[in-house]
Chains A and B, each alone.
Chain A
Amino acid sequence: MLFPDKLEDIASFANLELLSKQVVEGFITGLHKSPFHGFSVEFAEHRLYNPGESTRFVDWKLFARSEKLFVKRFEEETNLRANLILDISSSMLFPHNEKKNKLYFSVICAAALIHMLRNQRDAVGISLFDNEIRLKTGARISAVHSKWLYGELEKLVDPQFSALKRETKASEAIHVLAESTHRRSLTILFSDFISHESISDIFSALQHLRFKKHDVIVFHVFDSKFEMDFDYSNRPHRFIDMESEEELKLNPNEIREFYSKKMKEYKEDLIFRCGQNQIDIVEADINKSFSQILMPFIIKRARLY
């Protein structure tokens, strides 16, 4: 069976739940093999039974064999609450008129992460924002809840959802989310960070999340071909701001160098500020494979607990 690894491998948008499963399985296959054979990983030790305590975990098989009363102790399983935050502003619909845009990429990655989190019994919720919060769900483990999340994510890739002029106000949305999420959780943000607000405002909001003791991973979603390299043909183009619909007529060759330099600086600034605030930032190029998203997540998850 072939598993989709890149956006281009996905022929058409089918069932998001199934798709996320395929993406994760394709990634997991061959990633690791269990170092343990024959024993449960969680069963960690035998402890002498203390008279009076519950007999629930007494190892009765051992008692039958040797008349020794020992209690089985298991490694404590940690559960995580994860909150996936998706920027659904108009700029995320770039490249425009192409189905496989930044939002589409983010939705598939988010669905794959939900699948992975669910598999390890972690609670997960999603929040969507543009200039305000459009949806905020709690973090839950249940299958019904994740089905609802897949349903909400599927709505984002519906062609009817492509209405323009939805501006980004990431800082306000993140401040509200930081204030309303009380229990410590892992916050995973998908955004292109293209906004009229300053980068300092966005980071003050992310600092708010850190102040509330949340762990944060930021996926900086971009299209390297057009947004970083400015790879447009050499003829005059009309560029339209997807959020404000402002227009600009330009010859790409004239500004390519300046534009690429500015974008590179912006990206470096993002990385630097994330480093300052102990936020993990991952470059999520929509032309590359999904493993660029899933691998840093697995590493972060392993480090957390």
Chain B
Amino acid sequence: MAIELTDANFEELVVKSDKPVIVDFWAEWCGPCRMIAPFINEIGAEFEGKAVVGKLDVDANNGVAVKYGIRNIPTVLFFKNGQVADKQVGACQKKALVEKLEKLL
């Protein structure tokens, strides 16, 4: 399962994490976001202990979305050592996300 990220806990759970982190920027009203949501949850379960998988609602947490210049949703950012290492914009297959995450492990 993916963890819920907010403006408040983003720094601690993502930027300071010693594991690779993937963050799904989503919104409730966005169809493609709901399409990839099950993949994100599955990846969260499959990579438990190896990577952190989180979801950030851009409506409720505007600060982080603005900081990382998120203009399109869904956007999935891949973090390593607090830095953005990769990016996936738009709905995609689970395989594409897994491949990008595995490169960071």
Q: Which of A's residues lie within 8 Å of B, judged by CB? A: 36, 39-40, 43-48, 62, 65-66, 68, 70, 73, 75
- The answer to whether B71 touches A44 (Cβ under 8 A) is no
- The answer to whether A36 touches B90 (Cβ under 8 A) is no
Chain A residue numbers with a CB within 8 Å of B30 are 45-46, 70
Known: A45-B72, A45-B89, A75-B90. A66 touches B29 (CB 8 A): yes
A47 to B89 Cα, complex, angstroms:
10
Nearest-Cβ distance from residue B16 to partner chain A, whole angstroms: 29
Known: A73-B72, A75-B90. A44 touches B32 (CB 8 A): yes
* Contact string against A for B residues 67-105, beta-carbon threshold 8 Å, 1 for contact and 0 otherwise: 000011111000000000000011110000000000000
A75 to B27 Cα, complex, angstroms:
19
- The answer to whether B32 touches A45 (Cβ under 8 A) is yes
Q: Does B45 make an interface contact (CB < 8 A)?
A: no
A227 to B33 Cα, complex, angstroms:
56
- The answer to whether A39 touches B31 (Cβ under 8 A) is yes
Chain A residue numbers with a CB within 8 Å of B74 are 45
List which B2-53 residues lie within 8 A (CB) of chain A.
27, 29-35
Q: Contacts A40-B31, A46-B72, A66-B29 given; 19 further ones with Cβ under 8 A?
A: A36-B35, A39-B31, A39-B32, A43-B31, A43-B32, A43-B91, A44-B91, A44-B92, A45-B30, A45-B90, A45-B91, A46-B32, A46-B33, A47-B71, A48-B71, A65-B29, A68-B29, A73-B90, A75-B91
Q: Residue among A44, A46, A65, A75 with the most chain B CB within 10 A? A: A46
Known: A66-B29, A73-B90. A45 touches B35 (CB 8 A): no
A222 to B39 Cα, complex, angstroms:
46
Residue of B nearest to A49 (CB): B71
